[in-house]
Each structure stands twice: as C-alpha cells, then as structure tokens.
Structure 1
Amino acid sequence: MSDATAEAAPDDGWEWAIVEAMGHRRHVGRTREVEKFGTKMIRVDVPIDGNPEERGWKTHFYPGSSLFCFTPCTEEAALAANKPYEPAGRLALASRYRDPDDSPDDGPEF
C-alpha cells in the first residue's frame, strides 16, 4: 500500500461515540464492532486523560444486548469529555486584568 493510499483512507472502521451500557456505565471514545468469543461485541477505546498519544487507551468490550444508548460524537468532544477535572480555583480570572509587575497585595485592577 502506498503512502498516498494510507493517508486517503478516512474510514478506518472507528466511530467516535458516547456509549451507555446497561444503563449504569458511560464511556466516551472510539468504537467499532468486533467479534469475540463467537459473538458480536462493541469495543470502546477510551482515551486516558483525554490524551491518547501520551497516556494511551483503556479498552472496554460489551455485547450488543447490553447497550442502553449509542450517541455518535466528534473526536474533539470525546477527547474533551475524558480530560481530568480542573478545579475552578486554578482558573485565575483576575490574572487577566492584573499587571504582572504588581505585587499580590495590590489585588486585581479592573
């Protein structure tokens, strides 16, 4: 297979989706239908911490009968859904308005 053919294949069999299984478990990642143990199953690869290049993937398998809901989504939405929670305290809104040369005692200037 040439490099041009490899790059031109947008349909690699994966579909980004939100998968809810048995009404109790929810995974957001790339999905595909696979056959394991003599039956069709859904494979869900969840990007760890929303960064599969650095952290890798966590894989889950479910039989089709256990699916409660399957909602297609974009890759960006799937990666964002798996990013770790960032506390609001780390988002320093006041720092946008403060002069970096001011001391912390001066407070934000609006």
Structure 2
Amino acid sequence: MSEQTSPAGDEPAADWMIIEVFGHRRHAGRVREEERFGAKMLRIDIPKVERIDLPGDERPVPSVTVTSWTTHFYGGAAIFSATFTDEASVLRMNTPYVAPSRMSLPAPIGDRDEDEERPF
C-alpha cells in the first residue's frame, strides 16, 4: 500500500470498479492491470474523499473533493469479485460517513406565537 498525491497522468486509462478480495475486503476505485514482481497484478487506486458541507446545501449527494489516493496491488487469485461502475459511485462509496447526531435539522416552519405555551 502506498500514498500518492494523484495518479500519474501518463499512465494507461483505468476502469472504475468495485473489487472484493477473498470476499473479506472491498475497495472502490480506478483499476488497471500491471506487471509487478514478474506477475500480472491488479492495481486499484482508491480516492481519499473529503465531504464539503455547504451551508443550506440540501442535495442528496454531498459535494466532495479528492485529496489523495491510496494504491493496493493484488494477485489475480485473490480477487473474489469485480464490478464495473462509474466515478460518481466510487466517490460516493469512499465519502466519509457523517453520524446522524452531527446533522442539523431544518429551521421550524410555522406561525407559532412565542407566547404560546408548548406541550413539552
């Protein structure tokens, strides 16, 4: 595993895929075949994604930016499953989870008077 700032631009085109290794690990990223250590191997570059929370942004898909890439190499026998997908799905899968307690509720709507007694 290695950290990179971004994949090199002069490398061959890669496919966006979801890879399962031995049925236990799951990665989503850019995939291509490379020869390493005298054998053909799968290279997967996994984007590290940061969520950009904009005030008042109510879109179902948050704005994200890729900050770096992590690279893994696997031999062909280790691959349990490979599914082709698109870039948006890969970014969504790698977006950090935000706990519900950190989400804010929308402002209350209504013409309730402040002097009105509340039941709670």
Report the Cα offset of residue 32 of structure 1: 0.4
Aligned equivalents of 1:46 and 1:22: distance in 2?
Answer: 18
Report the Cα offset of residue 67 of structure 1: 0.3
Q: Percent identity?
A: 40
Q: Which has the higher strand share?
A: 2
**CA distance 1:96–1:31, shift in 2 (3 Å):** farther
Runs of 4+ in 1 over 2 A off after TM superposition: 49-52, 89-93, 96-99
TM-score by length of 1: 0.70
The match for 1:7 is none
Q: What is the alpha-carbon root mean square deviation over aligned residues? A: 2.2
Report the AA paired with residue 39 of structure 1: A
Within the candidate set 63, 68, 80, 2:75 is matched to 63
* Pair 1:74 & 2:95 matched: no
Report the Cα offset of residue 88 of structure 1: 1.4
Aligned equivalents of 1:38 and 1:49: distance in 2?
Answer: 33
The match for 1:47 is 47
Report the Cα offset of residue 97 of structure 1: 4.0
**DSSP-derived class of the 1:20 partner:** strand
Report the Cα offset of residue 98 of structure 1: 4.6
The match for 1:14 is 14
Structure 1 unmatched runs, 5+: 1-11
Q: Describe the superposition over 1:43-81 as per-residue Cα deviations: whole angstroms up to 9, x where unpaired.
A: 0000013532xx210000000111000001110000010
Report the AA paired with residue 92 of structure 2: A
Question: How many equivalent residue pairs?
Answer: 87
Structure 2 unmatched runs, 5+: 1-11, 51-64
Q: Which has the higher helix share?
A: 1
